[in-house]
Amino acid sequence: MTPNALVVGELHDGHLAASTLEVIGVARALAGGAVAGLVLGAGAKAAASEFGRFGVPEAYALDDPHLDAAPAGARAAPVAATAREVGASLLLTASTTAGRDLLGRLAVAWDAAVATGVTEATAFEGGVRVRRPVFGGRATETIRLEGSRVAIATRPHAFAAVAESPVPCVVHEVPAPVLSEAYTAPQRTGVAVTARGAGPSLTDASIVVSGGRGVRAPENFRLVEELAASLGAAVGASRAVTDAGWRPTSFQVGQTGRAVSPQLYIAVGISGAIQHIVGMVSSRVIVAINSDASAPIFRVADYGIVGDLFQIVPALTAEVRRVRGA
Amino acid sequence: MEIVVCVKPVPDAETRLRATSDGTRLDPEGVKFVLAGYDESAVEQALLLKESIAGSRVHVVAFGPAPRTEEVLRATIALGADQATWVDSGADAGAEPVRAARAIAGAIASAPHDLVLCGKQANDDESGLVPAALGELLRVPEFSCVVDLRWDSATSRFRFQRPIETGVESWSAPAPLVVGLQQAWNDPRTAKLPAILKSRKAAIGKVAAASASSESRVVAERFELPPPRTGAKLIEYKTPEDAAQQLVRILREEAKVFP
């Protein structure tokens, strides 16, 4: 395949997002030729030059605040046009909501072989071979993306961020797309930024502590939250908890909630319905704390404590604080 | 309102997964196929909208091989769908998502569609590509991760929310629209027995999938299952404090997941 690659970056607080730095690393490993960067939306021009810090000598910016409040499809045409301009045969982005929306569009608009949720990627003559978890992490598939245009979205945290290696970076401006009425008619009427508290978001966190029915009452959920806070972890919940209204549905881990794959997942008072398991089984290490030794959660956990969570969890929080010196 | 719902038959969550003998893909032998989880929500949402907007119809479309695709379509008829169309993938069951989107778009492009509802992703391949690819093929805007989808008859616009990584977005948009649904207003309903019996005789429209015109190809190479988890190593302890100390030591020294 022709060797050039285009990285479509995402912005976070006006800078290249952490997930984009991972994508740059993958692009530099896969591309035989030049790697170029592209960012879109408000502040794109200022952020585009940051590509140079990570060894990317050429960047494209579509600095148009309207794109931030337009449907995802509005980005497809300018991204495909930039890919053609740089002679890219490979396009890479992060497998976020926006990244998956973009790839579905580019499969058609750029006529590419595409894959999302990629955790390993290697180039071969004629395409890219990728591995990706499927069935909620219960299996892994290896697929070959063949053709002269391939686009992949890499799962956040699956690859290391690229190290800094500054080079001068030329920034080109990409003209704003002329949108048809279908794409200007939808209106974004509001954005409520998630109240993050002190902790990381559920899908970004490297440690997740989730509570289930075993915590018995909404006020007891603070035990789960205190353990999470001591670990710098995100808080999750089983469906029993969100259905009961103890926590909003945005906390739900499982088939109908969010799928997470942190380094460490601690399930507190969760029995382990299959619905929940498929959302967390691809975590690297799983710890279960439950009073019922026969609970199915112990079959997927690596380590278990059979006992009363109302005694175990506060002791664990205290121990974590002690070893962390806090 | 003409509502099209795109669904996919996927292995039941309780099914034991197994690779084919050549190791390239999931072995469908003995697998019970059901409506994908988010697709169940999409069907439910379509039926709720139909019930709240006079003169609405729900048309369910699925791409896949016999007999599983016809079976899940019949299940949606039993739930209350008005029409079902099976886009036959042929014996090659490779449900590569973009190929599925092209086949479905071919089948519905000329049929009325004010709203095209999909689950936000299927729980087998988890690609999440179909809604966006359909939007591009049908040349209409598409929104993924949608919850709380409502029709506002006063303004003739849909109103909905999207809980995404950075926060919750609120949107309003006119028809036509493609939506990747995360959650319906209600838990999906179950079909009643008389409706299930009646659905067995319902006519299912069948169309052949248009042949692919793209030079890009996605080829399944390996399908692997992780070694089965052997069950938790249970910590023997005397006091809660003892349990906590042992666990923290294991997480730091053995599992190395804790600084």
- Find the mean pLDDT for residues B32-42: 93
Partners of A288 in beta bridges? A267, A304
Angle at B195 between CA B192 and CA B198, to 5 degrees: 150
pLDDT computed for residue A160 by the predictor: 87
What's the pLDDT tens digit per position in B230-256? Answer: 789 999 999 999 999 999 999 999 888
Q: In angstroms, how far is the first alpha carbon of chain A from the final one? A: 54
Q: Which CATH superfamily is domain A4-184 in?
A: HUPs (3.40.50.620)
By the CB < 8 Å criterion, does B12 face chain A?
no
Query: Sign (positive/negative) of CA torsion B8, B13, B16, B19?
Result: positive
Q: Is residue B213 part of a domain?
A: no
| B222 phi, psi to nearest 5 deg | -150, 145
Q: What whole-number distance in Å separates Cα of residue B190 and Cα of residue B200? A: 16
Q: Is residue B124 part of a domain?
A: yes
Find tokens 């019996």 and name the residue: B197
Q: Are B196 and B237 members of one domain?
A: no
Question: What chain A residue is nearest to B188 in terms of C-alpha separation?
Answer: A256
Q: Are B46 and B119 members of one domain?
A: yes
Q: At what angle do helices B130-138 and A97-109 cross, to 10 degrees?
A: 40
Among B172, B193, B208, the domain boundary falls at B208
Domain A207-323: which topology?
A: Rossmann fold (3.40.50)
Q: Is residue B51 part of a domain?
A: yes
Window 73-112 of B, Cβ < 8 Å to A? 98, 101-102
% of chain B residues with pLDDT over 70 = 97
pLDDT computed for residue B176 by the predictor: 96
Q: Are B52 and B146 members of one domain?
A: yes
The stretches in chain A having pLDDT less than 50 are 1-2, 196
Q: Show the domain range for B240.
A: 231-259
Q: Are B140 and B239 members of one domain?
A: no
Mutate to test the interface with A, among B15, B17, B178, B216 (most CBs of A within 10 A): B216
Q: B-chain residues within 8 Å CB-CB of A128?
A: none
CA of B202 to nearest chain A CA: how many angstroms apart? 30
Q: Is residue B214 part of a domain?
A: no
Q: What whole-number distance in Å separates Cα of residue A154 and Cα of residue A130? A: 10
- Domain CATH for B165: 3.40.50.620
Please report, for chain A, the start and end positions of each structural domain, with discontinuous segments joined by +.
Answer: 4-184, 207-323
Query: How are beta strands A187-193 and B167-173 bridged, if at all?
Result: antiparallel
- Find the mean pLDDT for residues B52-59: 95
Q: Across the interface, which of A135, A287, A315 has its CB nearest the CB of B17?
A: A135
Q: What whole-number distance in Å separates Cα of residue A211 and Cα of residue A247? A: 10
CA distances from residue B189 to A216, B43, B61 in whole angstroms, order as listed: 28, 9, 19
Window 143-202 of B, Cβ < 8 Å to A? 143-145, 159, 162-174, 177, 183
Q: Across the interface, which of A109, A194, A320 has its CB nearest the CB of B136?
A: A109
Q: Is residue B221 part of a domain?
A: no
Are A129 and B221 in contact by the 8 Å Cβ rule? The answer is yes
Strands (E), A175-214: 187-193, 207-211
Q: Are B128 and B256 members of one domain?
A: no
CA of A188 to nearest chain B CA: how many angstroms apart? 4
Q: Are B177 and B255 members of one domain?
A: no
User: Among B109, B120, B66, which Cα is nearest to A256's?
Assistant: B120
Domains A4-184 and A207-323 equal at CATH topology level: yes
Q: Are B144 and B247 members of one domain?
A: no
Cβ–Cβ of B26/A140 closer than 8 Å?
no
Domain total in chain B: 2
Q: Is residue B220 part of a domain?
A: no
Q: B-chain residues within 8 Å CB-CB of A197?
A: none
pLDDT computed for residue A1 by the predictor: 44
pTM above 0.95, yes or no: no
Distance of CA B185 to the CA centre of its chain: 17
Cβ atoms < 10 Å from Cβ of B207: 15
| pLDDT reading at B211 higher than 80 | no
| pLDDT reading at B150 higher than 60 | yes
Q: Across the interface, which of B13, B257, B259 has its CB nearest the CB of A284?
A: B257
Tokens matching residue B67: 């007999």
Helix, strand, or coil (residue A319): helix
Q: Are B199 and B134 members of one domain?
A: yes
pLDDT computed for residue B37 by the predictor: 86
Q: Are B53 and B138 members of one domain?
A: yes
